Amino acid sequence: MILLAQDVADSTQTLTIWLVVLATASIVTLALQRLKLSVIPGYIIAGALISPLVDRMVGGTQTVEHIADLAIILLMFGIGLHIDIADARRGMVSLIGIGVLSTIGSCVLGYPVALALGLPPPAAIVAVMVLSMSSTAAVMRMLQQRRELKQMHGRLCFGVLLVQDLLVVVMLAAIPIIRLWSGAGEVDGEIPFTLTQLIAKTFLTVGGVGLLIVGGMTLLPRMMAVVAKGARADVLLVFAAAVAIGAAAVTSSLGLSPELGAFLAGFLLAATPFRHQVSGQLAPMRDLFMAIFFTAVGLDVSAHIVAQYWWVVGLVVLCLVLIKTFSIALAAWSFGASGPISIRSAMALAQGGEFGLIVLAAAGGAGPLLDEQTEAILVGAIAVSLVFTPMLMTAGERWAVALRKAPTAPWVGRFAMRDSPVASPDRPDALGHVIIAGFGPVGRATADQFKRLGVAFVVVELNPRTVERQTKLGRAIVYGDVTNAAVLESAGIEHAAAIVLTMPDDQAVLRACTVIRQLAPDIFIAARMTFMSKAITAKQIGADYVIAEEIATAEAMAKHVAGVMTARVSQ
């Protein structure tokens, strides 16, 4: 009975903690939305506001952090899913060069500033590595909301973020070396491992990540295809989540961050036809993951230390924004980006990020390289920079106008990066195409008619065998459920002139009509329904043209019989 009472008390405590966390986050973000500001700063502010209260609850911070760890794993998996590999390959050399050069430049320029603020050399190196990371979660989310991922500055941001995320591997591997240099890695006067062991561990880590990538590229598409055949749509999501957590476990066992593993899993899954369906299924949870993670970031802010050293935090944020803006803009311009693209990308990436917090956590392990005060200032600076990210992106747009006549680097010539957006390979390039939802007998007949008429069309189909077969035949086809917003976006609904719903499922057609009208208010919707009553409902919720099978059948039969009777009478 005592144990039962303790379990009830623990459950009540946990529920109370989550009530406080989510209710505060909701209230603060609602206020920011009324002011037309980004919600991510709201989560951080909410976490900072309730941090003292949660700390007083038994296990409060640990409870939130445990869930936040899972949230960031699934969040990074979702971000990886949104990466278009075909887009990533375009100009990859330039994007890698910009990412590497800008990260190194931020560290080199920030190092003397860190020394000037009183940090010893090993701690200064760790601090600049922490602050050189930008926020993949925040920047990708904001670019997505602004529909700027396909624009040149959006692609450049993605390239830099991807390189930074991969450079975390190098930074985490460097932490033990820096710890030895500082003397923090010695235990009772003995070095815990030899240089040979360190080199061997590095090769093991790199080899393990390589095997994960190769295994994912070869096995993952086949496994997803097997799961998708004959399974419910939610089974595909469950399996994808298992892949994300499994990849996170692999990288964690290699001494790397689990977030990197989840990101790589999403990135590899993005090469399969199932990416849009899984991404759309994750969408309702993505906002919750975002809220939990960034609220946890706010909880880590030591308000009393930040308040005591507010001017240091402010100075660090100012230096962070200036240094990263300069280094990223200069690197982008050097590799051929125009002035507007360079400044927009640089100011969008001028904040600290979640992978920086991971490097900071690694540096704060056994034999910490940074004292509590410095860690609190760095966390506070990252949190404050995230709060200002939406304003920095808006400022970048204004500076882009001022720099529109700035010349590109003279040595790039015709290889300069252009401002025009890049179309996704899974979307039609021509405007005004038609989307056919469902490729059964009605869908095939409709497609044949459009082909004869010379009308461009894209098919959305949930049968993986059909998708595989039609893809080999060169037909534009997307795997997924037409009621899934991400699937519709991948089919190019924002540019489509019409959509034809041919599925023999009235409820699915009604759900699709609702989603389609939200995404594209002006698109023409033609729907097939089984019963007249459902056809009326479809009209009410947004369908422009509806054909009811029971009425169409009656009309066809009556017409045919009347024709036969007329023929017999005439004889």
427 within domain boundaries: no
The pLDDT of residue 428 is 44
121 within domain boundaries: yes
Distance of alpha carbon 548 from alpha carbon 481, whole angstroms:
22
Mean of pLDDT over the chain: 78
186 within domain boundaries: yes
Statement: residue 429 has pLDDT above 50? no
411/535 same-domain check: no
Report the SS3 class of residue 496.
coil
Could you give the count of Cα atoms lying within 13 Å of 56 in the half-sphere of its Cβ?
4
Distance of alpha carbon 260 from alpha carbon 245, whole angstroms:
11
319/447 same-domain check: no
40/180 same-domain check: yes
* Highest-scoring range by mean pLDDT, 1-5, 149-153, 300-304, 332-336: 332-336
The band of 184, judged by pLDDT with boundaries at 50, 70 and 90, is low
The pLDDT of residue 164 is 86
The band of 232, judged by pLDDT with boundaries at 50, 70 and 90, is low
Torsions phi, psi of 459, nearest 5? -100, 140
pLDDT digits (tens, 9 = 90+) for 270-323: 877 787 778 777 776 777 777 777 777 777 777 777 778 888 889 999 999 999
198/159 same-domain check: yes
Could you tell me which residues are beta bridge partners of residue 548? 529
428 within domain boundaries: no
Statement: residue 67 has pLDDT above 80? no
**Among 305, 315, 307, residue whose Cα is nearest residue 372:** 305
Statement: residue 193 has pLDDT above 60? no
Last residue of a domain, one of 350, 382, 415: 415
Per the model's pLDDT, the better-predicted residue between 193 and 136 turns out to be 136
217/275 same-domain check: yes
The band of 57, judged by pLDDT with boundaries at 50, 70 and 90, is low
227/348 same-domain check: yes
CATH number of residue 318's parent domain: 1.20.1530.20
The pLDDT of residue 322 is 94
The pLDDT of residue 505 is 82
Last residue of a domain, one of 415, 448, 463: 415
424 within domain boundaries: no
Per the model's pLDDT, the better-predicted residue between 559 and 115 turns out to be 115
Per the model's pLDDT, the better-predicted residue between 515 and 561 turns out to be 515
446/366 same-domain check: no
The band of 430, judged by pLDDT with boundaries at 50, 70 and 90, is very low
How are strands ordered across the β-sheet holding 498-501?
477-479, 457-461, 434-437, 498-501, 524-529, 545-548
Per the model's pLDDT, the better-predicted residue between 305 and 169 turns out to be 305
343/315 same-domain check: yes
Domain extent, residue 345, equals: 2-415
The pLDDT of residue 132 is 92
Per the model's pLDDT, the better-predicted residue between 195 and 169 turns out to be 169
CATH number of residue 444's parent domain: 3.40.50.720
The pLDDT of residue 71 is 76
Statement: residue 557 has pLDDT above 60? yes
Last residue of a domain, one of 415, 449, 481: 415
Torsions phi, psi of 165, nearest 5? -60, -40
Statement: residue 6 has pLDDT above 90? no
272/332 same-domain check: yes
Could you give the count of Cα atoms lying within 13 Å of 300 in the half-sphere of its Cβ?
26
The pLDDT of residue 36 is 63
The pLDDT of residue 40 is 72
Q: Which residues contact 52 (CB under 8 A, 6 or more apart)?
A: 303
The pLDDT of residue 88 is 59
469 within domain boundaries: yes
The pLDDT of residue 365 is 58
132/191 same-domain check: yes
DSSP secondary structure, 239-299, as one string: HHHHHHHHHHHHHHHTTS-HHHHHHHHHHHHTTSTTHHHHHHHHHHHHHHHHHHHHHHHHH
425 within domain boundaries: no
Report the SS3 class of residue 524.
strand
Total structural domains within the chain: 2
115 within domain boundaries: yes
27/67 same-domain check: yes
Torsions phi, psi of 187, nearest 5? -120, 115
pLDDT digits (tens, 9 = 90+) for 452-509: 888 889 998 888 888 888 888 888 888 888 888 878 888 888 888 899 898 888 888 8
* Among the ranges given (21-30, 209-218, 272-281, 361-370), the one the predictor scored with the smallest mean pLDDT: 361-370
387/536 same-domain check: no
